[in-house]
Amino acid sequence: MGQNESKVTLRIGGMSCASCVAHIETALTDLKGVSKARVNLAAQKAQVEFDPAQTDLSRISQAIQDVGYEVAPDELTFKVLGMRSAHCEGVVRQGLENLPGVVKVEANGNTGTATIWYHATTVSPGEIKQTIRDLGYDVAEKLQAQDALDREREARQREIRRQGLWMLVCWPLALVIMLGTFRDYWKLSVFVPEFLADNFVLFLLTTPIVFGPGWQFFINSWRGLKHGVADMNLLYATGIGAAYLIGVINTLWPEAGFGGAKAVFFESAALLTAFIILGKWLEALTRGRTSDAIRRLMALQPKIARVIRDGKEIEVAADEVLENDLVLVRPGESIPVDGVIMEGYSAVDESMLTGESMPVEKKTGDQVIGGTMNKTGAFRFRATKVGKETALAQIIRLVEEAQASKAPIQKLADMVAGHFILAVHALALTVFFFWFFVGYGNFFDPQSRFLLTPYTLGEIGVFGFSLLLSITVLVISCPCAVGMATPSAMMAGTGKAAEHGVLFKGADAIEATAKLDAVVFDKTGTLTRGEPSVTDVIPQAATFNGPVAEAVNEVLRLAAIAEKNSEHPLGEAIVRGAEERGVEVPDADWFESIPGHGVEAEWKGQKITLGNRKLMKERSVPFEALLAHAEALENDGKTAMFVAANGELAGVIAVADTLKDYSIEAVEQLHRLGLEVLMITGDNRRTADAIARRVKIDRVLAEVLPQDKAEKIKTLQAEGRRVAMVGDGVNDAPALAQANVGIAIGSGTDVAKETGHVILIKEDLRDVVVAMEAAKATMRKVKQNLFWAFGYNVASIPIGAGLFYPFFKLVVSPELAALLMAVSSVSVTLNTLLLKRFAPKVKREKAIPEKTPSLEPSFAGHGIRRR
Amino acid sequence: METRTASGMDKNTRRLSAICYTGTSLAVVALFVVLAQIIGGYPRAAVIGGAVWSFILSMIVTMPLSTSYFKKRRMS
Q: Give the pLDDT confidence of B4-19 residue by residue, as tens digits.
A: 344 445 678 778 888 9
Collapsed DSSP state (helix, strand, coil) of residue A343: strand
The confidence score (pLDDT) of residue A852 equals 33
Taking contacts as CB-CB distances below 8 angstroms, the residues of chain A near B76 are: none
Q: Which of B49, B60, B75 sits opposite A425 (nearest CB)?
A: B60
The confidence score (pLDDT) of residue A331 equals 85
What's phi and psi for A701, nearest 5 deg? -110, 90
Lowest mean per-residue pLDDT among A134-148, A313-327, A473-487, A554-568? A134-148
Taking contacts as CB-CB distances below 8 angstroms, the residues of chain A near B64 are: 228-230, 422
The rounded radius of gyration (Å) of the Cα atoms in chain B is 16
Taking contacts as CB-CB distances below 8 angstroms, the residues of chain A near B29 are: none
Q: What's the average model confidence in pLDDT over A802-823?
A: 81
Residues 458-497 of chain A with CB under 8 A from chain B are 461-463, 466-467, 470
The end-to-end CA distance of chain A, in Å, is: 54
Taking contacts as CB-CB distances below 8 angstroms, the residues of chain B near A229 are: 64
H/E element holding A144?
Answer: strand A138-146
Q: What's the average model confidence in pLDDT over A316-325?
A: 83
Determine what percent of chain A is predicted with pLDDT higher than 70.
85
Average pLDDT, chain A: 81
Determine contact, residues A627/A601, Cβ cutoff 8 Å: no
pLDDT tier at A264, thresholds 50, 70, 90: confident
Taking contacts as CB-CB distances below 8 angstroms, the residues of chain A near B57 are: 238, 425-426, 428-429, 432, 470
H/E element holding A643?
Answer: strand A639-645
The rounded radius of gyration (Å) of the Cα atoms in chain A is 36
* A306 burial via Cβ count (<10 Å: 0-12, 13-18, 19+): middle
Q: What's the average model confidence in pLDDT over A439-444?
A: 89
Interface mutation vs chain A, best among B60, B61, B66, B70, most A CBs within 10 Å: B60
B26 DSSP assignment? H
Q: Quick check: A144 pLDDT over 50?
A: no
Q: Do A26 and B65 touch (CB under 8 A)?
A: no
A359 DSSP assignment? P
Q: Quick check: is A184 catalytic?
A: no
Q: Do A238 and B65 touch (CB under 8 A)?
A: no
Distances, alpha carbon A546 to alpha carbons A540, A629, A859, A867, in Å: 12, 21, 15, 20
The confidence score (pLDDT) of residue A147 equals 56
- Alpha helix ranges (H) inside A696-762: 709-718, 733-738
Q: Do A466 and B50 touch (CB under 8 A)?
A: yes
Q: Which of B7, B50, B72 sits opposite A436 (nearest CB)?
A: B50
Determine contact, residues A393/A363, Cβ cutoff 8 Å: no
Q: Do B46 and A228 touch (CB under 8 A)?
A: no
Q: Which of B44, B53, B64 sits opposite A228 (nearest CB)?
A: B64
H/E element holding A360?
Answer: strand A360-362
- Best CA proximity match to A645, nearest among A602, A615, A681, A675: A602
Taking contacts as CB-CB distances below 8 angstroms, the residues of chain B near A234 are: 60
Q: Quick check: B51 pLDDT over 90?
A: yes
pLDDT tier at A846, thresholds 50, 70, 90: very low
Lowest mean per-residue pLDDT among A401-410, A644-653, A716-725? A401-410
Query: Quick check: A227 contacting B, CB < 8 Å?
Result: yes
Query: Quick check: A257 contacting B, CB < 8 Å?
Result: yes
Q: How far apart are CA A130 and CA A617, in angstroms?
A: 71
Lowest mean per-residue pLDDT among A491-495, A625-629, B69-73? B69-73
Q: Which amino acid is at B67?
A: T
Q: Greater confidence, A354 or A799?
A: A799
The confidence score (pLDDT) of residue A851 equals 38
Interface mutation vs chain A, best among B5, B7, B16, B28, most A CBs within 10 Å: B7
Q: Do B50 and A432 touch (CB under 8 A)?
A: yes
Residue from A349, A522, A636, A728 carrying the catalytic annotation:
A522
Residues 25-64 of chain B with CB under 8 A from chain A are 28, 32, 35-36, 39, 42-46, 49-50, 53-54, 56-58, 60-61, 63-64
pLDDT tier at A69, thresholds 50, 70, 90: confident
What would the DSSP string read from start to end of A324-339?
A: T-EEEE-TTPBP-SEE
Q: What's the average model confidence in pLDDT over A807-825?
A: 78
The confidence score (pLDDT) of residue A762 equals 81
The confidence score (pLDDT) of residue B13 equals 79
Q: Do A238 and B56 touch (CB under 8 A)?
A: yes
Q: Quick check: A269 pLDDT over 80?
A: yes
Residue-wise pLDDT tens digits, A204-261: 999 999 999 999 888 887 776 666 666 677 778 887 888 888 788 878 887 766 666 7
The confidence score (pLDDT) of residue A259 equals 62
Residue-wise pLDDT tens digits, A592-631: 888 778 889 998 888 999 988 888 998 888 888 888 998 8
**Alpha-carbon gap: B2 to the closest alpha carbon of chain A (Å):** 18
